[in-house]
């Protein structure tokens, strides 16, 4: 069973809209090696897992899988912010937004030569479940052979490929909004890479100096370095509300990346930051309410809410 808290797993830095960067990030969301894929792959591997003796392995996969849902939320929101208000992109400061189409205006004409016109035509300046070339995410991506060693090997390769692609995206844009999320995911992918590599070490493999893949020097990527200096590449959260996860039996000891750190899995979750709701975009008819409908919405907002009876979760971290 899954729960949610209205916080993003990491902060998204503010910057100008950047539809080209947004489209590159789509690979990290809906691409073959993006977050929707890892999320779904680990969910299926967890549901179909065989062999009670392997619970620590199942719990490792399940915990990383739960984190991936928050990564989908993070990168999806990032893409949304990069697109939001982009008709004013490139310093075009006159604001055509308030009166969409007024007198035959064309506030959305920038859409015609962007990476994916669907960002404007279909998704109202929001994220899409597609990759950076516009291919919809497909269930055929999910790998779950049922063979534990193969599943671990695939997951290691999957995380490393995701990290490789994000390093390439990093080199495509210096938009701060894009980079704050990319850098975070590069580091978390390495943490997951470490997790699966360690699981294979527990089955006898000695990686020697092969890891991490790709071989990157964090120093080249200042935004990444800040996070590895904090050791985020060697930490795994459980995201488990009842402390039943045994992932920590695997995620411990010397990092397979041989960066001098030890793996630790002694926290439930990162702190995160509060999430917010985006502004109206009239030129997209989104949310597209007129005065009458808005008044009705206001009315429902004034209704007294019932007290919710809770089992999980104190209020503290959300303040």
Cα–Cα nearest to 157, from 303, 300, 37 = 37
Query: Is residue 119 marked as binding?
Result: no
Q: Taking CB under 8 A as the rule, does residue 191 contact a second copy? A: no
Of 178, 174, 185, 199, the C-alpha closest to 256 is 199
Q: Return the residues of window 287-316 that contact a second copy according to CB under 8 A.
A: 287-290, 292-294, 296-301, 303, 305-316
4 marked as binding residue? no
Interface with a second copy, residue 213, by CB under 8 A? yes
Q: Cβ(10)–Cβ(273) under 8 Å? A: yes
CA distance 14 to 178: 9
Q: Is 159 annotated as a binding residue?
A: yes
Pick the closer one to a second copy by CB: 148 or 232.
148
With the CA atoms of 283, 288, 293 and 298 taken in that order, what torsion angle do they form, in degrees rounded to the nearest 10? Answer: -90
Interface pick for a second copy out of 123, 191, 227, 232 (rule CB under 8 A): 123
Site map 13..52 versus a second copy, x via CB under 8 A? -------xx-xx--x--xxx---x---x--xx--xxxxxx
**Residue 68 marked ligand-binding:** yes
Backbone φ/ψ region at 290: left (φ over 0), alpha (ψ -120 to 50), beta: beta
Using CB under 8 A as the binding rule, whether residue 227 contacts a second copy is answered as no
Residue with tokens 């055929």: 140
Residue 70 makes contact with a second copy by CB under 8 A = yes
Residue with tokens 């073959």: 32
Nearest approach, Cβ of residue 33 and a second copy (Å): 8
Q: Is 67 annotated as a binding residue?
A: no
Q: If binding is defined by CB under 8 A, does position 85 make contact with a second copy? A: no
Residue 71, both tokens: 């990564």
Least Cβ distance, residue 276 to a second copy (angstroms): 8
């Amino acid at each position: 069973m899954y729960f949610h808290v209205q916080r993003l797993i990491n902060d998204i830095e503010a910057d100008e809209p950047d539809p080209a960067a947004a489209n590159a990030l789509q690979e990290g969301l809906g691409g073959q090696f993006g977050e929707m894929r890892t999320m779904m792959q680990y969910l299926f591997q967890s549901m179909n897992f065989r062999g009670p003796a392997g619970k620590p392995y199942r719990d490792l996969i399940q915990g990383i899988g739960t984190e991936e849902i928050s990564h989908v939320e993070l990168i999806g929101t990032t893409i949304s912010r990069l697109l939001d208000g982009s008709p004013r992109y490139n310093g075009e400061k006159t604001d055509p937004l308030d009166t969409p189409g007024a007198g035959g205006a064309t506030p959305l004409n920038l859409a015609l030569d962007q990476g994916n016109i669907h960002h404007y035509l279909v998704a109202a300046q929001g994220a899409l479940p597609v990759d950076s070339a516009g291919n919809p995410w497909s269930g055929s991506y999910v790998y779950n052979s049922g063979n534990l060693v193969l599943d671990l090997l695939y997951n290691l390769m999957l995380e490393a490929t995701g990290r490789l692609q994000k390093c390439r995206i990093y080199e495509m844009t210096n938009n701060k909004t894009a980079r704050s999320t990319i850098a975070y995911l590069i580091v978390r992918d390495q943490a997951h890479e470490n997790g699966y590599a360690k699981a294979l070490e527990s089955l006898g493999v000695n990686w020697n100096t092969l890891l991490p893949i790709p071989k990157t020097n964090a120093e080249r990527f200042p935004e990444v370095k800040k996070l590895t200096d904090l050791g985020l590449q060697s930490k795994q959260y459980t995201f488990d509300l009842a402390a039943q996860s045994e992932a920590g039996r695997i995620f411990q000891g010397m990092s397979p990346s041989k960066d001098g750190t030890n793996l630790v899995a002694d926290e439930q979750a990162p702190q995160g930051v509060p999430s917010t709701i985006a502004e109206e975009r009239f030129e997209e008819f989104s949310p597209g309410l007129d005065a009458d409908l808005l008044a009705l919405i206001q009315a429902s907002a004034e209704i007294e809410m019932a007290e919710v009876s809770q089992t999980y979760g104190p209020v503290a971290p959300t303040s």
